[in-house]
Amino acid sequence: MKKHLVFVMLLVLTVSLLAGCSGQKTSSVLDKIKTSGKVVVGTSADYAPYEYVDEAGKFTGFDIELMTEIARRMGVELVWTDMPFDSLIAAVQEGKIDMSISCFNYTEERDAQVDFSDAYYTSEDAFLVTDAFTGTITDPLEVAKYKIGVQSGTVQDDWVTTELVGAGLMPESQLSRYERVDQASLDLKSGRIDVLVADSVPAKAIMQQQTGLKIVYEGMLYTGPINIVLPNGDTALQAEVNKIIKALQDEGFIDALAVKYFSE
């Protein structure tokens, strides 16, 4: 009798626990942000005019101002984390940061690891060289004959790796990857690489900041719409960010930022 009673009690307890577990709601990163009153955002602050550190040591740029306004409309404090570009996706995956904004383009490979906001801007790519460069590039594949530099983990890195090295058009020994784009520009100036492949806007910014550089090709390779990186499957946070992005687009806020940072 006692054994039977113990069995019944255990059965009831097990059913109760299962029922409790099935009724639990998985909390969103948005819930955590609202509860803590702050959003932790990762960036790689070496990609002017999207994100960079000004002379006063402050984060600034198109992405920086955009995210500052998004955080303000969410009603939370914005906390920046500066890290190498190629570590940002993993940082979002592992929950080290809540989201990331750093001139990210959508790719299927990235989409398998994280989610994206709606696009907030569209960009092209550029080939940056020194004034001493005498070649001409009308077809982007022609760049395969030169020593190329890219920022590691970018879509430009992916394009060169896939379309040039992977396709057998150039050996991997001709490709140099850099943690930061400013490191690549220094090697371009010193002649260690012949061509820096980058997003066109930062390429123009580098050209304006450093004398003796020029762009020999501009067009769309793998780039295009730019998005904010979000935790995979977090639909609540994604909906909140998308709602704010749409409002900022409708109000002309993003167009005004583009004029401020991208006007030549």
Q: What is the pLDDT of residue 29?
A: 95
**pLDDT for res 106:** 87
What pLDDT does 9 receive? 45
> Spelled out in words, what is the top-level CATH class assigned to the domain 125-219?
alpha beta
DSSP string, 226-239: EEEEE-TT-HHHHH
Q: Distance (Å, rounded) from C-alpha 81 to C-alpha 96?
A: 10
Name the CATH code of domain 29-122+225-262 (choices 3.30.565.10, 3.40.190.10, 3.40.50.20, 3.40.50.2000).
3.40.190.10
CA distances from 240 to 19, 103, 119, 120, 252 (A): 30, 20, 14, 14, 19
Q: Which residues contact 216 (CB under 8 A, 6 or more apart)?
A: 127, 128, 129, 133, 135, 136, 137, 195
| Tokens, residue 75 | 């009603």
Q: Element (H or E) spanning 214, and its range?
A: strand 213-219
Residue 26: its pLDDT value, please?
Answer: 57
Check if 29-122+225-262 and 125-219 are the same fold: yes
Which tokens in the block code for residue 19? 């029922």
Amino acid (one-letter) located at 131: D
Among candidates 105, 150, 107, which has minimal Cα distance to 126?
150
pTM comes to 0.71
Distances (CA, A) of 67 to 107, 130, 168, 182: 21, 34, 40, 23
- Pure H helices in the chain: 2-22, 29-36, 62-74, 88-93, 108-111, 155-159, 181-190, 200-209, 235-250, 253-262
Helices 62-74 and 253-262: crossing angle in degrees, nearest 10, is 160
**For position 5, what pLDDT does the model report?**
42
Q: What is the pLDDT tens value at each position of the chain, 264 positions in all?
A: 444 444 444 444 444 444 444 444 457 999 999 999 999 999 999 998 899 999 999 999 999 999 999 999 999 999 999 999 999 999 999 999 999 999 998 888 899 999 999 999 987 899 999 999 999 999 999 999 999 999 998 889 989 999 999 999 999 999 999 998 889 999 999 999 999 999 888 888 899 889 999 999 999 887 678 999 999 999 999 999 999 999 999 999 998 998 788 754
Alpha-carbon distance 4 to 11, whole Å?
11
Structure confidence at residue 1 (pLDDT): 44
Pairing label, strands 213-219, 46-47: unpaired
The residues spanned by each domain of the chain are 29-122+225-262, 125-219
Residues 116-140: b if buried by 16+ CB within 10 A, e if exposed: bbeebbebebbbbbbeebeeebeeb
Q: Is the Cβ–Cβ distance between 50 and 62 less than 8 Å?
A: yes
* Span 110-159, pLDDT tens digits: 999 999 999 999 878 999 999 999 999 999 999 999 999 999 988 899 89
Instruction: Report the distance separating Cα 215 and Cα 76, nearest Å.
Output: 41
